[in-house]
Amino acid sequence: MVLRPPMHFKHDGPSLKVRWSIPTRRSRRAINLLVTASVVLMVSLLLSFLGCQQQILSTSRPGGYVSIPVRPTLPLAQLGHEPIVRIRIVRRQNKIVINAHSDLIIGPTPSEQGRATPARFTPPVTITKHPTGYAIMPANGQGFAWGLKALQITTQGHIQVNGTSYPQKVMIHHSRPTKYDPAPNSLDAVNYVAIEKYLPGVLEKELYSKWHPGAFTAQAIAARSYAIVQHFANQNKHYDMEAGTASQAYAGAHASLKARNAVSQTRGMVLVYDNRIVPGYYSSSCGGSAQDAAIAFPNGQNITPLQAHKRAAWCTNSQKFRWGPITRNRLMLSQRIRAWGVKSERKIAKLGQITQIQITKRNRTHRPAEFTLTDHFNHRYVLGPEAFRFACNFSSKGSQTLAKLSSKQKLYSSHLNVQVVGNTVQISDGRGFGHGVGLCQFGAQGMAIAGLQPEQILRTYYPGSQIRRAY
């Protein structure tokens, strides 16, 4: 599992022209109403101002923005059938190698039917970008180019893409260039797969194979809920989710019997709140303290199941339940955060040398909700908790100064204490691994071992939600 500007209220009505005269009973009543309304407005503004000064957040975003769901939760009644989800399994590569145990059928996607006739190829086949579309090079035979917007690839059985097997079919798309990553010759591979065939590969990658079946069951329902919401939220893109930690880790066609059973036994079951499907966010370990979705994510919904609530620390078996201390070079950290700001097109791209880092807001469970960084120009920059973590961990290929951090230097969550001391930034009391919203995976395992049922686990991590069958 990327802030919208705050809402502003402004009065656009006509100006009020007042003529002085001796007030009548009706006019006195109007004046009294006007005065009362003015007093109420002033009190509201004062309370709003005082509220902005509070250091404990409940429903506001980092920076004090009101949480307005840009992508609302999905009405349960809108679904009705098992969706086909689109998982980006290869991202921005110059070439993609397709293999299978049977012949490959490569042709146009349904939107371009009639522009070309599907052809049969003996695998393996290498696909690269061509000025007119795509170049297809079989292992045996002559290569040729196809002038299509996208390619559809099917076969009997599983399709192997760059060495990993996937169920059903694969689409090849041109990568959409970005300002900082134009990649003119790059391609994406997207696995189109029924969600019930997709989920076993998620559980296989997300959980340890020896974990309790109850943890697998709870994870299956949460992952299905998340995937369905993402599917409907990303219709304007050529994929719904990534096959990695940016969305849900995905092992493709490979899945254990335990993973397959957890999915089949919960077929169609989702988390529901107010008759809408809840995106089942989850992370490895919450460290005993939850985060609000509205604080962690730019478009996070401010609904009861995704708000931070006090919970028991069931995830003590995680090696990242407590971590640190970490000492980072102040100048190098400044450079790393500045580079992240350039990459993500944030104002913090102008950050100078850090002189102070403060936790300026916390949520109701005392987890950091906002970090304020001050540089040697006395400029202040505000980052949400996940943005702060990503910025501190930012790395860049080909840069020795921004090389990937070692495990001992990495921030595993934004639940920490931080202080600038001389030429160092000292990070202590680190807790948990991940954003801390929703299900805690190590916590689910701890609860399952203790004998709690999957429904109890999900009720703990998504309070107020219900389990319903969507199809």
Residues above pLDDT 90, as percent of the chain: 75
pLDDT at residue number 80: 76
Q: Is the confidence at residue 17, as pLDDT, over 50? A: no
Asked whether residue 3 is assigned to any structural domain, the reply reads no
Packing angle, helices 195-206 and 213-233, rounded to 10: 130
Torsion sign, CA atoms 9, 274, 232, 230: positive
| Residue whose token pair is 């299956």 | 220
pLDDT at site 73: 64
Domain assignment present for 426: yes
Is 57 a domain residue? no
Q: What is the pLDDT of residue 178?
A: 64
The answer to whether residues 276 and 339 belong to one domain is no
Answer yes or no: is pLDDT of 45 > 90: no
Pair 342, 357 in one domain: yes
Give CA–CA dist 333/329, Å, rounded.
6
Predicted pLDDT at 179 = 62
Q: Are 326 and 320 in contact (CB under 8 A)?
A: no
141-145-148-151 Cα dihedral, nearest 10 degrees: 30
Residue 372, helix vs strand vs coil: strand
Q: Is the peptide bond before 6 cis (omega within 30 degrees of 0)?
A: no
Residues 368 and 246 in one domain: no
Do both 331 and 426 map to the same domain? yes
Output the pLDDT for position 283.
98
Does any domain span residue 58?
no
Q: Which residues contact 470 (CB under 8 A, 6 or more apart)?
A: 76, 79, 80, 228, 268, 269, 270, 277
pLDDT tens per residue, range 154-168: 999 999 999 999 999
Query: What pLDDT, on a 0 to 100 scale, did the predictor assign at position 12?
Result: 31
Confidence of residue 181 (pLDDT cuts 50, 70, 90): low
Q: Please report the pLDDT score of residue 360 as a whole number.
A: 98
Whether 105 and 157 map to the same domain: the answer is yes
When mean pLDDT is compared across 98-102, 278-282, 308-312, the lowest value belongs to 308-312
Domain identity same for 80 and 203: yes
443 and 311: one domain? yes
Return the half-sphere exposure (C-beta side, CA atoms, 13 A cut-off) of residue 160: 13
Q: Are residues 310 and 421 in the same domain?
A: no
3-state helix, strand, coil in the chain (%, to 5): 30, 25, 45
| pLDDT number for residue 75 | 77
pLDDT of 299-309, one tens digit each? 888 999 999 99
* pLDDT at residue 43 greater than cutoff 70: no
Counting the structural domains of the chain, the total is 3
* ∠ CA 227-266-269, rounded to 5°: 55
> Treating both helix axes as pointing N-terminal to C-terminal, what angle do 441-449 and 213-233 enclose, rounded to 10 degrees?
150
- Whether residue 163 sits in one domain with residue 232: no
User: How many CA within 13 A on the CB side of residue 168?
Assistant: 15
The percent of residues above 70 in pLDDT, for the chain, comes to 82
Q: Are residues 203 and 297 in the same domain?
A: yes
pLDDT digits (tens, 9 = 90+) for 392-422: 999 988 777 899 999 999 999 999 999 999 9
For the segment 94-109, the average pLDDT, to the nearest whole number, is 96
* 341 shares a domain with 272: no
- Judged against a pLDDT cut of 90, whether residue 447 lies above it is answered with yes
Which ranges of 282-329 would DSSP assign to H, the alpha helix?
A: 293-296
Q: State the pLDDT at residue 31.
A: 44
The average pLDDT across 46-60 equals 36
Q: Among 127-131, 213-217, 284-288, 450-454, name the one with the lowest average pLDDT.
A: 127-131
Q: What is the mean pLDDT of the chain?
A: 86
Report the C-alpha gap between 151 and 136 in whole angstroms.
10
Which helix or strand (DSSP H or E) is residue 97 part of?
strand 95-99
Element (DSSP H or E) covering residue 358:
strand 354-362
- Confidence grade of residue 180 (pLDDT, cut at 50, 70, 90): low
DSSP output for 198-225: HHHHHHHHHS-TTS-HHHHHHHHHHHHH
Confidence of residue 184 (pLDDT cuts 50, 70, 90): low
Residue 44 domain flag? no
- Least Cα distance to 243 among 182, 166, 300 occurs for 166
- Cα end-to-end distance, the chain, whole Å: 24
The more confident residue out of 310 and 318 is 318
Is position 61 within any domain? no
- Residue 24 resides in a domain: no
444 and 355, same domain (yes or no): no
pLDDT-derived band at 143, boundaries 50, 70, 90: confident
Residue-wise DSSP of 99-131: E-SS-EEEEE-GGGTTSS--EEEPSPEEEEEET
Establish if 249 belongs to a structural domain: yes
Q: Is the pLDDT of residue 68 over 70?
A: no
Range of the domain at 232: 76-84+196-316+435-471
Per-residue pLDDT, averaged over 137-153, amounts to 91
> H-helix or E-strand containing 193?
strand 187-194
3-state secondary structure of 14: coil
> CB–CB of 436/278 below 8 Å?
no
